[in-house]
Structure 1
Amino acid sequence: MFSQGNAGASAYARVGVETGVMGADPHRLILMLYQGARQAIAQARMHLQQGNIGPRGEAISKAMNIIAGGLQASLKKDVGGDLALRLDALYNYMVRRLLDANLEQSEAILIEVDRLLATLEEAWIGISDQVAKRAAQGAPDAQR
């Protein structure tokens, strides 16, 4: 199905991602999770438009796993207060909506979740200066 050249490019991309993860600070890792979830949703939309049921489901599952197993699992609810609890509820909502998107074959729902993730990603990027200042001062990373 894929040529050897494509396999090589895929392996190269995996190494790049793994290297990025290994060298990333916690703030960057969360950003990478947002980007990965959004990329999976973009793939799901493409597969939905092309009628590729299996790959669409795989892409949606990947986005759900990133949200629940990465973003939601990284929340520190014991120290994050109301913000962490609200993010937890929002991540639950997103996972449910992605399940709905798959069942209903709904691009509109995929767009809705992508927009929510884009808003959170934008906010996360917006606090990067504060995180960098705290790191330079030797303070612990900002709590989520």
Structure 2
Amino acid sequence: MNRRLALQQLNKAYQQDALETSLYGASPVGLIVILYEGAITALQRAQGEIAQNNYVEKGRLIGKGLDIINGLDTVLDLEKGGEVTGNLRDLYLYMKHRLGVANIKNDATILQEVIQLLTELLSSWKQLDKMQGSAQRIGQV
């Protein structure tokens, strides 16, 4: 086995261990943050694949982003969440539609639109996660 391949395998194993560690230690809101970050990363990489005319990998990465958004959509509780949750569902549906169009048209600009929406939502989820973490620390004192 050559040295480069060995380093790639070690890096992949390290990244997998780091991901598992963050998943096990994450709060429910923290898990949502991780999912948003994963969707954003996949879509950013898809933009790069469009620039490289690598449409197979672009499709796989957009599919990964879609899978994450579908998962986030599936766990929404419309009864408990009310109007906010309904609005979030509508936004997820819009993003899924736009990703389908981006995939068909190989349009990095549409991907950027969805990345921007996810980034704005991510900011709110991070703030909520931070507030919940602070509240838990205060409760432990």
1:33-84 alpha-carbon deviations (Å, 9 max, x no partner) = 1100000011100101111111100100000001112x21221212000101
Moved over 4 A (4+): none
SS in 2 for 1:127: helix
Query: Per the alignment, do residues 4 and 59 of structure 1 end up closer, same or farther by CA in structure 2, a change over 3 Å counting?
Result: same
Residue 28 (structure 1) aligned with residue 18 (structure 2): no
- C-alpha distance in 2, partners of 1:116/1:93? 10
Segments of 5+ residues of structure 2 without an aligned counterpart are none
Percentage identity across aligned positions? Answer: 33
More helix by share: 2
1:70-114 alpha-carbon deviations (Å, 9 max, x no partner) = x21221212000101110111111111111101000011000000
Which residue does 1:124 correspond to in 2?
A: 125
TM-score, scaled relative to structure 2: 0.89
Choose 1 or 2 for highest CA Rg.
Answer: 2
Segments of 5+ residues of structure 1 without an aligned counterpart are 139-144
- C-alpha distance in 1, partners of 2:138/2:83? 26
Residue 56 (structure 1) aligned with residue 58 (structure 2): yes
1:19 deviates by 1.4
Which residue does 1:88 correspond to in 2?
A: 89
Query: Per the alignment, do residues 88 and 38 of structure 1 end up closer, same or farther by CA in structure 2, a change over 3 Å counting?
Result: same
1:135 deviates by 3.9
SS in 2 for 1:75: coil
Q: What are the residue-to-residue correspondences of 1:1-144 with 2, within 5 Å?
A: 3-69=5-71, 71-135=72-136
